[in-house]
Chain A
Amino acid sequence: MTGSKIITHLILICGAIFMTLPVWVAFASSTHAPETLLREGLQIWPGGHFLETYNEVLFVEGGVMKKVTAMQMLGNSMILGVGFAVGKVVISMLAAYAIVYFRFRLAVPLFWVIFLTLLLPLEVRIIPSYKVVADLGLLDTRAGLIVPLIASATGTFFFRQFFRSVPDELLEAARLDGATAWGFFKDILVPLSKTMIAAILIIMFVVGWNQYLWPLIMTTKEENYTLVIGIKQIYQVLSEGGELPQFQKAFALTILATLPPVMVVLIFQNWFVKGLVESEK
């Protein structure tokens, strides 16, 4: 190996350690007793309390929160992630189909309405959004949690872009073959978009799972917490102090909140990267 090659690998190894070590330390520390952590600080090697910590966090009532277990929060996160991803794909595919494949009078103004959502991230309209959802009686409901999140323009733009790249002749052939508007969508366009749909589902699952601000103001009842929201609560519990700060549980919770989206990204790495890079074009 030449000198420059060694330096290249050295830089990459340093980068990899920088990106990985904190999470590894969090995992290792989550498997130790709280006393060990307080006495010796963070741990680099796993300890013997893995089952104990994770069992308590995942399944025992009062283990992390007052009532809700991490298992329930995991379920809530899963519903948010999957609901967000599926909802977004369905809604944006339909909208993009209308925009690309139909000639209708309001096409242009409606396209701009969708475009406008780019200018209105949740953060600039939190309080009135909260009010709308409260007025509709949707606080602490799954619908109130998911529906307001799924209508942004990104998904629609992505499918619009993709549909435009589908050769015109396919629609023409399908029309000669007697396909209706719905038939073309169902028989040709959706099967054709399979890999694109998969990629978007993966990205949107991660984005949905990681939602923070909206669930934070939307959910007031503990049983509706997602893992990411639980993070904030356990942090408050820690800083308020109790008898013995349960740092290992806080670490366990960060690991649990990280694991599912990370697994999805790692397993479907190629689709994920493709979808991410393509969708931003």
Chain B
Amino acid sequence: MSGVKLTGVRKTYPNGAEAIRGVDMDIQSGEMIVFVGPSGCGKSTLLRMVAGLEGISDGEISIGDRVINKVSPSERDVAMVFQNYALYPHMTVRGNMSYGLKNRKMPKAEIDARVEEAAKMLKIDAYLDRQPNQLSGGQRQRVAMGRAIVREPQVFLFDEPLSNLDAKLRVQMRIEIKKLQRRMNVTSIYVTHDQTEAMTLADRLAVINEGRVEQMGAPMELYTNPRTLFVASFIGAPQINLIPVQFDGTHLVNGGLSLAGFADLPRDTDLVLGVRPDTLSVDAGGQFSVRVDLVEQHGGENLIYGGVTAAKDAEGEELEICLKADKEMLPSIDDSLTLGFDPATAFVFRKDTGERLK
């Protein structure tokens, strides 16, 4: 097994558009890295550059000790699982899995052995002689994985492999991918825009925004200690509450809303306060009150959405706050709740640069 190293990697298209603006990354052998970010952020482009499907304008990518900038995709020793699976529709499952090995002139007996083994591992050994159009979505997904596994590559690349599945299957396959990756211990890069997938699969997460890595680290580290406003707002579901504020020396102020417990922040600068829904609680001695607009019952917990009449959000509308509460907590619409939070768990960012100040 080998790691993957990206040094100053850039991608500029002939028309001048910059897709990747300098990425440095050191992926350890056997590690599972997830690239996460909104669509168009460059995460797929970066993955495809590792695969060799996109050229590298500047910088260096190496797998193990080998610089692979100029190596053709099939010789990089990587395997990829595509979003739409990209199975060869006219070949059987067996044909799909063995095609790459045949092209490498591998002896037939070994091909068969590898295909059988991978098929058994993925529980698709009963379908080896079927064609892709005779399989369900989940089975096709497994075939696509099988095609990657039989090549026994140095690196697995996953390009949003679960986004074509329905919700239930997606969770199930997510767990299987994780188990499989643990078992095979192959370095993997996984691209997704789904933050739940990212949180659950990753050893380390790379949040990508506008062609740059905003922050890279273990999922919980990014959740509890985001470096920028973007990371804080992208990681975590339900999304973090963001409140535009100004610091007056002792309090964070937004209209009639005034929150104590903050110090050492710049005055006269637009700031954004970030409070996770699960750090808010109903507390008679709390700092502000909301009018309940909607209660969503998720079974194990309730999400309560409410308006803060005294404050405005970034668009100038009434501020809307989300609170994660126990399933017993069932206020009526238009009830007034007083909420509180521990200022130590909240984040403060500069609005203009997104930089975290606290």
Contacts and interface: CB of A to CB of B under 8 A. Distances in A.
Interface residues of A, number: 18
A173 to B, nearest CB: 4
Given A177-B99, A177-B103, A170 B73 contact: no
Interface stretch (B78-86, B117-125, B301-309): B78-86
B74 A169 contact: no
A176 B77 CA distance: 9
A192 interface: yes
A191 B86 contact: no
B99 to A, nearest CB: 5
Contacts, number: 62
A169 B86 contact: yes
B51 interface: yes
A185 B351 CA distance: 54
Contacts of B85: 169
Contact of A194 (B79, B90, B91, B147): B90
Looking at chain B, what size class is its interface with the partner chain? 20 to 34
A270 B88 CA distance: 25
Contacts of A192: 88-90
Contacts of B83: 169
**Chain B binding surface SS class:** loop
A194 B89 CA distance: 12
A278 to B, nearest CB: 18
B53 interface: yes
Contacts of B53: 172, 175-176
B90 A172 contact: no
Contacts of A172: 51, 53, 73, 80, 82, 86
Residue from A173, A188, A191, A192 having most chain B Cβ neighbours under 10 A: A173
A167 B80 contact: no
A178 interface: yes
B158 to A, nearest CB: 13
Given A167-B86, A175-B53, A188-B88, A183 B103 contact: yes
A173 B103 contact: no
Given A175-B53, A175-B73, A170 B86 contact: yes
Nearest to B153: A176
Contacts of A187: 88, 99
- Would you list the 10 A-B pairs with minimal beta carbon distance, nearest first? A177-B100, A178-B74, A169-B86, A178-B103, A173-B86, A191-B90, A169-B82, A175-B73, A176-B73, A172-B53
Given A176-B78, A177-B100, 14 more contacts: A169-B82, A170-B88, A174-B88, A176-B51, A176-B79, A176-B80, A177-B147, A178-B74, A178-B100, A178-B103, A179-B74, A180-B103, A187-B99, A192-B88
Interface of A: 167, 169-170, 172-180, 183, 187-188, 191-192, 194
